[in-house]
Structure 1
Amino acid sequence: MGTTGTPTNITQGSGTRGGIGESTLRPDGTLKVTGEFAYSSDMWHEDMLWGQILRSTVAHAEIVSIDTAEALATPGVYAVMTYDDLPTDVRHYGLEIQDTPVLAHGKVRHHGEPVAIVAADHPETARRAAAKIKVEYRELPVITDEASATAPGAVLVHEGRTDHHVGHVPHPNILHRQPIVRGDAGAAARRADFVVRGEYTFGMQDQAFLGPESGLAVPAEDGGVELYIATQWLHSDLRQIAPVLGLPENKVRMTLSGVGGAFGGREDLSMQIHACLLALRTGKPVKIVYNRFESFFGHVHRHPAKLTYEHGATKDGKLTHVKARIVLDGGAYASASPAVVGNASSLGVGPYVVDDVDIEALALYTNNPPCGAMRGFGAVQACFAYEAQMDRLADEVGMDRVEFRRLNAMEQGSLLPTGQRVDSPAPVAELLRRVKAMPLPPERQWLSAGEEADVRQLPGGLSNTTHGEGVVRGIGYAVGIKNVGFSEGFDDYSTARVRMEVVGGVPVATVHTAMAEVGQGGVTVHAQIARTELGVAQVTIQPADTRVGSAGSTSASRQTYVTGGAVKNSCELVREKVLEIGRRKFGAYHPAWATAELLLEGGKVVTDGGEVLADLTDVLEDEAVEVEAEWRHRPTEPFDLRTGQGNGHVQYSFAAHRAVVEVDTELGLVKVVELACAQDVGKALNPLSVVGQIQGGTTQGLGVAVMEEIIVDPRTAKVRNPSFTDYLIPTILDTPTIPVDVLELADDHAPYGLRGVGEAPTLSSTPAVLAAIRNATGLELTRTPVRPEHLTGTA
């Protein structure tokens, strides 16, 4: 494989150039790297106003009064709105549970909650006017962890809950609880020859996407509104926005604007409703752009977690049981927390065969920042803990850590703790074998006296803190399992409209979906699918908007699977209509029109033997064929609320990592030298994009391993580091070599046999780095991220 990141084992496409299996370049790639790409924050409209949000300065308090008079009197201000100014009785929204107020009412529940909104003719005017709004708070006790949330007499974050989860949780401050019980873990524990127990802490991670939240709302002549927005799910936004505005959905017309990354942070609404409210109030276009500071408060984060695990094994290394308790901090509002709980619990054992399992996962309501979707979605936190446990248990048994994993690895046909059988390839043992077999990076040759070191290659980097003294190398392994697509009975579907016609004497296909292109390369794949299925070279991708049916969310590694499936399905229906036209026009001249299997390839109609029957331009002439169709994956079902049993997931993705690190044990500095990855992708529709996804997910996992954490003051629940000065993310100098070995084992249930790619590498990269640091230092290291004080004993 080498260290270039070039994939192996990837088959190439055939037929029309630029189709499935080829490394087709992204149409937006050059624009993005040269800075010419138009993001949503670049939008402009004549006579445009600027919106600004006033946010709470405390985490939990009653709102005694709000005085907007001085703000309204500011020259250039067109509108100031609070909760009382909202136009309808629908004043809350949410992905699953509508518990989030459009603007705070009665009290605020987290630091940075929106309280009022302002529209003015200049962004600085709007900012100054918002600062003039006087809010009087009466602070309340803060709920920050499980102990304070469930203590006798604890203050309720949400009084009078009526959502569908409240009936199966033991306390109103517990948002959702999901047990997974199979077999008898207690009896199995008594039979175990070795038992290890551990408590683990996972920090709050930010998506840290490139472009902060932004959008432009333009009032329409029909009383509706046009919203140009960077989001992950246009139709979900629409479903939440329209009732608050008091408009039918057909009068809230949404168009996707340039999205600067997402990673789950744009699944929830941010400024969408606020911009629309101000535009409708003022009758003018309103643009809102968060700065980076505000963005830390404007979207959900990855759930911090406390995880307690017990693993047992026989003397020959077979797992006997797993017990676990996973407590996720959901923060002030529900967001996607119930689904995150479902993932953390159902995938909490990892990609291993264990007959006896007892897992409890729950999410809390607290006054900490709201948490929800982020790449890996609950499986990341669990993987960090169970992989640490697997290392410890392998050491107790006296086995090689990789071989211990391979001995217990699931495979196709294995049963999950939920009772669901894995009915597609699950090459866990093979991925571990492959990643272990990849060549190790050479040992660093420390310089003799008088020679100058390249400090960029050393722990501490350009801080120039070490020249190799006290530096120790460590190696660690990890593997993870991630579900693909929406689960637990969610009606997961997507819609695609495909049109085929002759334009300028050339057959052209046009693809229109509502898929949010957030940087994952979906628009490239859609063009590849159309070229493959329709045999045309020229494909136009229409901008995503709500004029076409829903494509669901760009999350859960689902878009290539589900929206790609919808594009494929619609293309197939278009192809059949084109062939019907051809049979009608030319069927009398050649018997193959009626007797042969016909394909569209290279702009022609051909038989499966390669005989050309007609040019597509002759078949279509002045005719056009258009189809809009939905596509669904296989149905899933909710997990039983008592036992967690059920066929809750549709597909699984697996990745294994080997981390090589160098640790300055005196200063507590870490340099990740390499993060090798082996991953099964089912079918690489675009090999270059697949490797990019794996390397990107790997780097995000590295970030949470050694540097990324939102720090929340446990006394006040206030965020202490809402900036990239204090919240660190990996730069190019922190990113190691990431060689990738891509395996393609087709899933017969999925379009082209593909498997969702983007999330799995985010799981196993984090515990692999921690395992390597433990290997170098001999320390237990039970929390992320690892900080220097954890390595030097000064924590």
Structure 2
Amino acid sequence: MGTTGTPTKITQGTKSKGGIGESTLRPDGTLKVTGEFAYSSDMWHEDMLWGQILRSTVAHAEIVSIDTSEALAQPGVYAVMTYDDLPTDVKNYGLEIQDTPVLAHGKVRHHGEPVAIVAADHPETARRAAAKIKVEYRELPVITDEASATAPDAILVHEGRTDHHIGHVSHPNIVHRQPIVRGNAEEAAKKADFIVRGEYTFGMQDQAFLGPESGLAVPAEDGGVDLYVATQWLHSDLRQIAPVLGLPEDKVRMTLSGVGGAFGGREDLSMQIHACLLALRTGKPVKIVYNRFESFFGHVHRHPAKLSYEHGATRDGKLTHLKARIVLDGGAYASASPAVVGNASSLGAGPYVIDDVDIEAIALYTNNPPCGAMRGFGAVQACFAYEAQMDKLADKVGMDRVEFRQLNAMEQGTLLPTGQPVDSPAPVAELLRRVKAMPLPPERQWESSEGADVRQLPGGLSNTTHGEGVVRGVGYAVGIKNVGFSEGFDDYSTAKVRMEVVGGEPVATVHTAMAEVGQGGVTVHAQIARTELGVTQVTIQPADTQVGSAGSTSASRQTYVTGGAVKNSCELVREKVLELGRRKFGTYHPAWATAELLLEGGKVVTDAGEVLAGLVDVLGDESVEVEAEWRHRPTEAFDLRTGQGFGHVQYSFAAHRAVVEVDTELGLVKVIELACAQDVGKALNPLSVIGQIQGGTTQGLGMAVMEEIIVDPKTAKVRNPSFTDYLIPTILDTPTIPVDVLELADDHAPYGLRGIGEAPTLSSTPAVLAAIRNATGLELNRTPVRPEHLTGK
């Protein structure tokens, strides 16, 4: 028997047009809500073994010895591997800097680092065997903050660094540094009538996807391996996996399995190499599924940050200058830290016109958990700080907080602090106007003739209050987020599109390596094919590495870039079909003549019988296939001294208004509403757009009032690696989220669209904090807000 539960082709058919601009339903939606969808943890293979990872129990220590004899002696165990068992000289991996060991060697650098792997015939056997591996550690002092990381006598987290960032940092425990300098902030500060300063702390957030890391590696007869896995970027995984295994890339065949959420946490490798190593060592399929505890250690988190900001303004409310310093804790390994630094610095001024700017952003190596990509990617931390500053400065000047933002809002043509002009619509003032104009929810909603509805109160079903001491607050925030990969990265995607007649009807097949992680790309790809090719039936092939790279499902880029690739390939297929029709029929075939007219004019009506009949007649037994790439316009690296450069390809903007009710005696917060206005360029699928905005908004809410990984500052150990102690919003915590969608086309993008998934995560967090400040009068320069911050107890 072969692998079961593998990804299947998804055929989307509809009697309606179902093209661009329509709210077509997700093809995987019914399967997911009925529990029939195959996630990576559902993979199964006959004679399958189970893999288990032994993780370090300390954060920083020398490895004195590893004894695997008891584990190997346990019945049912097929293999135990440590660093010394790795098959090649390539023993590290990484997204940009290859500093992460496949298995720890010499020392461990963070709590939960993989030390050994086990394969056994039952998952419990594998767990028990891993527990029998004896590791002797000699603990070392831990590096946990900037002071301990950059002290002259600081222990180096990575000795002997040779990566390309080492030449422009002042200490080896600094991963990357990016200044952004424009104008003269020192001189401009002298012209300010008002100056406000703030020190802000942003906690470590987990992606908290519900589907844990999992996958199945199957050894192949040709000496290679087939890997079925949940990931965000198949080809990046492949690039890192193959050298460790000592195999050419064409012998490591990867297929995307069902992904239960990602949000950046699956950009880095987790169990991929370990499963492949064990499969090749044992000659048997090996499945690895993390439990929730392991998942907290198995992926990167959002960088916690310390942010120091100074803004100035004139008496009439115009911003004069910005000086800022952003310190991001990257943890033990680099992951995406350099790119996060680039985003935090280049977007650190927010969506405002400020001519004189001096920003410095750095990321540290520490012994805390590794941090990397998470929704919003550096811009989230900066937005929390600069939006708090806008409120403080508006109050100093004596202006309405929204009007102050509108007065200083960027627009199309504004020069960013990097010197790059914003060359597409930037409706910051309009988004603020729209979100402020939305009706406010009624006061004291918990009151009714039948008594209090405690679900509407702070504390909810804990029934802690019936309205005594509850105060309402309203707050606003707006943010700017880049779309796509930046700083000179060759950002492209590939799509293969085939058109043929199946069962008497023309069918388009779309094949990309795009990771569908819940964002709805498979829906949009079918809509594009219908729009460009005039068909109703579209089949979406499973994503794998048998087609060119689609890049990562991150940076709000997939609809832009892979959607662009699908559009490009469809256009090329359409040209081939038109040429085929001209050769076959000229203009004498009535059905084809009508189809040709519609297709050439781009006015495709997919339920038009003339188009479908014409396509059937032209194609007959033939098929037309094109595989093509699509690139957005090039960007460039930021100057390492000044930060100047055309670093980003596109920007997205979102504004939020938060309405909260706070029990000031108990320190409990209930977010009643989080209204959002966002420019999406073009809503390719309006229903999906609303879902993305509401989802990003809810993730920002979690960061505002509940989500934080707690790391012991003395031991660097994670104290709350479970959903019992790491809290995420449930349906009872999620407020009403009305959304106002603005569509101002970006002429540089396919269909004029903008990436949308990240921007609402930026502004929702500071909007909630602003509303809590409005209710309590407290400064609250830290997120998430805890009860003790509100009561002083």
Shift of 1:2: 52
Cα distance change of structure 1 residues 247 and 623 upon mapping to structure 2, 3 Å threshold: same
CA–CA distance in structure 1, aligned partners of residues 291 and 217 of structure 2: 18
SS in 2 for 1:434: helix
Residue 292 of structure 1 corresponds to 292
CA–CA distance in structure 2, aligned partners of residues 60 and 445 of structure 1: 51
CA–CA distance in structure 2, aligned partners of residues 10 and 789 of structure 1: 50
Per-residue CA deviation, residues 551-571 of structure 1 (Å, 9 max, x unaligned), is: 000000000000000000000
Shift of 1:36: 1.6
Q: Is the 8 A contact 2:474 2:660 kept in 1?
A: yes
Relative to the length of structure 1, the TM-score reads: 0.96
Cα distance change of structure 1 residues 573 and 645 upon mapping to structure 2, 3 Å threshold: same
SS in 1 for 2:316: coil
Relative to the length of structure 2, the TM-score reads: 0.96
SS in 1 for 2:10: coil
Cα distance change of structure 1 residues 340 and 445 upon mapping to structure 2, 3 Å threshold: closer
Cα distance change of structure 1 residues 83 and 504 upon mapping to structure 2, 3 Å threshold: same
Cα distance change of structure 1 residues 363 and 30 upon mapping to structure 2, 3 Å threshold: same
Per-residue CA deviation, residues 226-282 of structure 1 (Å, 9 max, x unaligned), is: 000000000000000000000000000000000000000000000000000000000
Cα distance change of structure 1 residues 124 and 191 upon mapping to structure 2, 3 Å threshold: same
Cα distance change of structure 1 residues 744 and 14 upon mapping to structure 2, 3 Å threshold: farther
Per-residue CA deviation, residues 276-297 of structure 1 (Å, 9 max, x unaligned), is: 0000000000000000000000
Per-residue CA deviation, residues 564-610 of structure 1 (Å, 9 max, x unaligned), is: 00000000000000000110111152799999983339999999999
Quick check: 1:208 aligned with 2:208?
Answer: yes
Shift of 1:454: 1.3
Cα distance change of structure 1 residues 242 and 688 upon mapping to structure 2, 3 Å threshold: same
Cα distance change of structure 1 residues 42 and 613 upon mapping to structure 2, 3 Å threshold: closer
Q: Is the 8 A contact 1:10 1:687 kept in 2?
A: no
Cα distance change of structure 1 residues 2 and 254 upon mapping to structure 2, 3 Å threshold: closer
Residue 343 of structure 1 corresponds to 343
Q: Is the 8 A contact 1:600 1:606 kept in 2?
A: no
Q: Is the 8 A contact 1:70 1:133 kept in 2?
A: yes
SS in 1 for 2:240: helix
CA–CA distance in structure 2, aligned partners of residues 413 and 370 of structure 1: 38
Q: Is the 8 A contact 2:493 2:565 kept in 1?
A: yes
CA–CA distance in structure 2, aligned partners of residues 390 and 97 of structure 1: 36
Shift of 1:452: 3.0
CA–CA distance in structure 2, aligned partners of residues 685 and 606 of structure 1: 16
Residue 739 of structure 1 corresponds to 738
Per-residue CA deviation, residues 329-365 of structure 1 (Å, 9 max, x unaligned), is: 0000000000000000000000000000000000000
Shift of 1:210: 1.1
CA–CA distance in structure 2, aligned partners of residues 2 and 318 of structure 1: 67
Cα distance change of structure 1 residues 351 and 8 upon mapping to structure 2, 3 Å threshold: farther
CA–CA distance in structure 2, aligned partners of residues 502 and 586 of structure 1: 18
Cα distance change of structure 1 residues 111 and 446 upon mapping to structure 2, 3 Å threshold: closer
SS in 2 for 1:191: coil
Q: Is the 8 A contact 1:16 1:532 kept in 2?
A: no
Cα distance change of structure 1 residues 456 and 526 upon mapping to structure 2, 3 Å threshold: same
Q: Is the 8 A contact 1:535 1:603 kept in 2?
A: no
Q: Is the 8 A contact 2:534 2:611 kept in 1?
A: no
SS in 2 for 1:673: strand
Cα distance change of structure 1 residues 105 and 7 upon mapping to structure 2, 3 Å threshold: closer
Cα distance change of structure 1 residues 520 and 584 upon mapping to structure 2, 3 Å threshold: same
Cα distance change of structure 1 residues 320 and 600 upon mapping to structure 2, 3 Å threshold: same
Cα distance change of structure 1 residues 163 and 607 upon mapping to structure 2, 3 Å threshold: closer
CA–CA distance in structure 1, aligned partners of residues 16 and 648 of structure 2: 35
Shift of 1:139: 0.4
Cα distance change of structure 1 residues 248 and 14 upon mapping to structure 2, 3 Å threshold: closer
CA–CA distance in structure 1, aligned partners of residues 309 and 245 of structure 2: 47
CA–CA distance in structure 2, aligned partners of residues 791 and 506 of structure 1: 64
SS in 2 for 1:536: coil
Q: Is the 8 A contact 1:4 1:739 kept in 2?
A: no
Number of residue pairs matched?
Answer: 792
SS in 2 for 1:615: helix
Q: Is the 8 A contact 1:6 1:691 kept in 2?
A: no
Per-residue CA deviation, residues 669-694 of structure 1 (Å, 9 max, x unaligned), is: 00000000000000000000000000
CA–CA distance in structure 2, aligned partners of residues 645 and 586 of structure 1: 57
Gaps spanning 5+ residues in structure 2: where?
none
Q: Is the 8 A contact 1:306 1:328 kept in 2?
A: yes
Shift of 1:444: 1.0
Cα distance change of structure 1 residues 313 and 11 upon mapping to structure 2, 3 Å threshold: farther
SS in 1 for 2:420: coil
SS in 2 for 1:613: helix
CA–CA distance in structure 1, aligned partners of residues 493 and 287 of structure 2: 30
Per-residue CA deviation, residues 592-637 of structure 1 (Å, 9 max, x unaligned), is: 9999983339999999999879611001001100000000001000
Q: Is the 8 A contact 2:476 2:658 kept in 1?
A: yes
CA–CA distance in structure 2, aligned partners of residues 191 and 437 of structure 1: 34
Q: Is the 8 A contact 1:330 1:363 kept in 2?
A: yes
CA–CA distance in structure 1, aligned partners of residues 532 and 301 of structure 2: 39
Shift of 1:11: 25
Shift of 1:668: 0.1
CA–CA distance in structure 1, aligned partners of residues 40 and 7 of structure 2: 33
Cα distance change of structure 1 residues 526 and 221 upon mapping to structure 2, 3 Å threshold: same
CA–CA distance in structure 1, aligned partners of residues 10 and 72 of structure 2: 62
Shift of 1:487: 0.1
Q: Is the 8 A contact 1:481 1:653 kept in 2?
A: yes
Q: Is the 8 A contact 1:7 1:742 kept in 2?
A: no
Cα distance change of structure 1 residues 165 and 128 upon mapping to structure 2, 3 Å threshold: same
Residue 104 of structure 2 corresponds to 104
Q: Is the 8 A contact 2:328 2:363 kept in 1?
A: yes
Quick check: 1:187 aligned with 2:187?
Answer: yes
SS in 2 for 1:413: coil
Cα distance change of structure 1 residues 222 and 611 upon mapping to structure 2, 3 Å threshold: closer
Shift of 1:373: 0.1
Percent of pairs identical after alignment? 93
CA–CA distance in structure 2, aligned partners of residues 237 and 696 of structure 1: 27
CA–CA distance in structure 2, aligned partners of residues 424 and 457 of structure 1: 41
CA–CA distance in structure 1, aligned partners of residues 627 and 683 of structure 2: 26
Cα distance change of structure 1 residues 597 and 763 upon mapping to structure 2, 3 Å threshold: same
Quick check: 1:533 aligned with 2:532?
Answer: yes
Correspondence list, 1:766-781, <5 A: 766-781=765-780
Q: Is the 8 A contact 1:380 1:763 kept in 2?
A: yes
Shift of 1:12: 19
| Larger deviation, residues 257-266 vs 8-17 | 8-17
CA–CA distance in structure 2, aligned partners of residues 756 and 297 of structure 1: 30
Q: Is the 8 A contact 1:71 1:133 kept in 2?
A: yes
Gaps spanning 5+ residues in structure 1: where?
none
Cα distance change of structure 1 residues 75 and 300 upon mapping to structure 2, 3 Å threshold: same
Cα distance change of structure 1 residues 604 and 699 upon mapping to structure 2, 3 Å threshold: closer
CA–CA distance in structure 2, aligned partners of residues 647 and 194 of structure 1: 32
CA–CA distance in structure 1, aligned partners of residues 622 and 9 of structure 2: 42
| Larger deviation, residues 32-41 vs 2-11 | 2-11
Shift of 1:157: 0.1
Q: Is the 8 A contact 1:415 1:422 kept in 2?
A: yes
Q: Is the 8 A contact 1:3 1:738 kept in 2?
A: no
Residue 635 of structure 1 corresponds to 634
Residue 610 of structure 1 corresponds to 609
Q: Is the 8 A contact 2:446 2:457 kept in 1?
A: no
Shift of 1:534: 0.3
Shift of 1:152: 1.8
Cα distance change of structure 1 residues 603 and 44 upon mapping to structure 2, 3 Å threshold: farther
Q: Is the 8 A contact 1:16 1:536 kept in 2?
A: no
Shift of 1:151: 0.9
SS in 2 for 1:525: helix
Q: Is the 8 A contact 2:11 2:539 kept in 1?
A: no
CA–CA distance in structure 2, aligned partners of residues 316 and 8 of structure 1: 61
CA–CA distance in structure 2, aligned partners of residues 5 and 602 of structure 1: 43
Q: Is the 8 A contact 1:596 1:607 kept in 2?
A: no
Q: Is the 8 A contact 1:476 1:770 kept in 2?
A: yes
Quick check: 1:417 aligned with 2:417?
Answer: yes
